[in-house]
Homo-oligomer: A and B are copies of this chain.
Amino acid sequence: MYGEIIAIGDELVSGKTVNTTSSFAARRLFDTGYSVRRIVVIGDDIPLIVECLNKSVQRCRFLIITGGLGPTADDITNEAVSRAFELPLIENQQILRKISDCEKRHGLSYDETFKRKLSMLPEGAELLNPDGHAAGYMLMHGGIPLFFLPGVPHQLENHVVEQVIPRLREILGKGRSVMQKTFKIFGLSEIEVNARLSRIESRYSGLSIGYYPNFPEVHVTVTLKGQSSDETRSACLDACSAIRNALGLYVIAEDDDTLEAVTGRLLVEKHAMVSVAESCTGGLLGQRLTDVSGSSAWFDRGITTYTNRAKEELLNVPHEFIEKYGAVSSQVAESMAEGVKKLSRTAYALSITGIAGPTGGSVEKPVGTVYIALSTPERTEAKRFFFPGGRDKVRATAAETALDWLRRHLTDGSFVPGYRPA
């Protein structure tokens, strides 16, 4: 059931644009039991596209081609298909209708060459979604389905989910039974995770465990392939509970769940809210919490005090603390957390103050030094951390550590963060 993807675009092969669309397509296919064996990325170059099309159709069961369907001069996929398979380009009435609908809706009038470019498809092309906006199409060649999809991410994503996968099911039948599960881990390195899980892998036939650093987390993917879906399912559930035991609280979330969503649910269970006070992260912690839809049920407010004056005025951090210990200190971190907690009257508060760099470091407090404080109904405690990497990594690890600390505290009541304090 192997397929291939050919991604076309100068912007992809010159590295200007990251090829997220191929990853999306490959992942969705994999999850439904159709695997991609090879992804080939090439530029807007007709002879090269012709060569790649001809090679791929000889070795795979299905082929997805992305990009180059647009109206601009660099969109040449249709012409390449016409040459590769010796198919004339024919005006597609459905596309012309889409364009004229679009013109009416937006009060625009498109150029004739634009219209012509968009509407000339290789003979035999069948529009995947005649009623939608984008004009992806399918072409059968020697019994192999070829899917030509727009390169724009959300259009491609709709086409893959709503058109490509259902059609593959019709043409090729159901894929092999595959169960897949992702564990998201924070506080252990890839090697440490591997060491904890290496024995589990050999216990199950058809099980493979993949380790993917996904800064600042490590993601572990468990894939189980088998003949029957019942057998695959039960082996997968078994392996997953062994993995959960081996990793304990280091597992911050599973599958599409996130650290912030898990933390939010734990707060809801306790009928509690959280507020945050940030300095070097500049709002990142609040932004992550509010990534979760419905977070207003458990997130009250975030205060970003980037200057010392703002810390004193808004959070009541004593001027002497800043003078004596510096803005990056456990005293100021604790005072920030208590300040925002008092203002918001939430049960919990988090604060972050640190030196994200590249400037501002000193011998005692080098770039990467961050104090995080957790304030609970019982007490407030700050810990000092050292996060390596540049500005973005320091900020990302600091926000993750703060969230993770709250999650752990809400889970077992302890004051131990997942990332080791410095």
Q: At the interface with chain B, which of A161-169, A246-254, A309-317? A: A309-317
B282 and A291: CB pair below 8 A?
Answer: yes
| Chain B residue at minimum C-beta to C-beta distance from A304 | B302
Point out the residues of chain B lying under 8 angstroms from A214, CB to CB. 17
A21-39: contact bitstring with B at CB < 8 Å (1 yes, 0 no)? Answer: 0111111111000011111
A33-87 residues at the B interface, CB under 8 angstroms: 35-43, 45, 48, 71-74
Chain A binding surface, main DSSP class: mixed
A283 and B293: CB pair below 8 A?
Answer: no
Q: At the interface with chain B, which of A6-14, A232-240, A330-338, A374-382? A: A6-14
Say yes or no for A272: interface residue by CB 8 A criterion. Answer: no
B314 and A307: CB pair below 8 A?
Answer: no
Assembly stoichiometry (copies):
2
In the docked arrangement, what's the CA distance between A57 and B290, Å?
A: 49
In the docked arrangement, what's the CA distance between A193 and B236, Å?
A: 50
- Number of A residues near B (Cβ < 8 Å) is 93
In the docked arrangement, what's the CA distance between A208 and B73, Å?
A: 10
A310 and B14: CB pair below 8 A?
Answer: no
A37 and B27: CB pair below 8 A?
Answer: no
- Our pick among B18, B35, B302, B358 for the contact of A14 (Cβ within 8 Å) is B35
Point out the residues of chain B lying under 8 angstroms from A111, CB to CB. 195
A359 and B16: CB pair below 8 A?
Answer: no
Say yes or no for A107: interface residue by CB 8 A criterion. Answer: no
| Chain B residue at minimum C-beta to C-beta distance from A301 | B310
Q: A282-B283, A282-B286 are in contact. List 15 more A-B contacts (CB 8 A).
A: A14-B26, A15-B25, A16-B221, A39-B40, A278-B286, A282-B295, A283-B284, A284-B287, A291-B391, A293-B356, A301-B304, A301-B305, A301-B310, A303-B314, A313-B343
